[in-house]
Amino acid sequence: MAVVGVLALQGSFNEHIAALRRLGVKGVEIKKPEQLDNVASLIIPGGESTTMAKLAQYHNLFPALREFVKMGKPVWGTCAGLIFLANKAVGQKIGGQELIGGLDCTVHRNFFGSQIQSFETELSVPELASKEGGPETFRGVFIRAPAILEVGPEVQVLADYPVPSNKVLDSNSAAEMQEEKDWSEEKVIVAVRQGNLLATAFHPELTADTRWHSYFLKMASNVLEEASSSIVAVGGVDLSLNKQPKNDLPIFQ
């Protein structure tokens, strides 16, 4: 199994590396653009997306990260990493922040409120249920978490979470949301997959449950296998790695 790169600018990269280690897989820290050449897949951890974006700009990582995504290499973004991968982010500071883009969705950066409105919940994730009938629920750790408000047609929703419908419209704090008794329910999306991209609004690396990491490793090996078989199919010209994301550039707000 090839090593997995973990973007190590800020946030929970050590926890991702430890989770990979528990599965017998080596995670390597990525801090510079050229280090991306040594890995076949990448995890972008949670943390503080504006800080991470500033550090990524400082190290000139954005062009290489966009190229990595565009080439169809497997990438998983957790929490701030999800924000990084989104084509469009709302609820940001004026001026916004640079994104990698590629994931056809609109993400709300602090949808569930501030740090003190962080929470844990059991999520239903049918994709994680084992064939032997293992649990399909997963303990979602949401820390100042984003939520996905809209997805494009190529995005597969893996998990969602119920919230009051007016919350989706005007994004009050999670505390206000709990106080409103007579809310009608709507759902926001908290885990998605789009081809080579996986994104979760919560932090699987902060739990002892490695099923999301296993899911990503399996997804990555399938994506890479498909890519290498298409190289053989077209005599050395890898068409699958020239796929363009739906929207070429992320929108900054």
The residues annotated with a catalytic role in the active site are 79, 203, 205
Min dist. Cβ of residue 140 to ligand GLN (A): 12
- The residue count for binding ligand GLN (CB under 6 A) is 12
Question: What does the radius of gyration of the chain's CA atoms come to, in whole angstroms?
Answer: 18
Residue 61 interacts with ligand GLN (CB under 6 A): yes or no: no
Residue 83 interacts with ligand GLN (CB under 6 A): yes or no: yes
Among 103, 112, 194, residue whose Cα is nearest residue 155: 194
Nearer to ligand GLN, 70 or 108 (CB): 108
Sole binder of ligand GLN in the list 47, 77, 204, 245 (CB under 6 A) = 47
- Burial class for 137, CB neighbours closer than 10 Å (0-12, 13-18, 19+): middle
Min dist. Cβ of residue 46 to ligand GLN (A): 3
Sole binder of ligand GLN in the list 33, 40, 48, 230 (CB under 6 A) = 48
Residue 17 interacts with ligand GLN (CB under 6 A): yes or no: no
DSSP 110: T
Measure Cα distances from 142 to 78, 91, 178, 252 in Å: 10, 17, 16, 24
Residue 240 interacts with ligand GLN (CB under 6 A): yes or no: no
Measure Cα distances from 207 to 56, 138, 203 in Å: 27, 10, 8
Q: For binding to ligand GLN (CB under 6 A), which residues are involved?
A: 46-49, 79-80, 83, 109-110, 143-144, 146
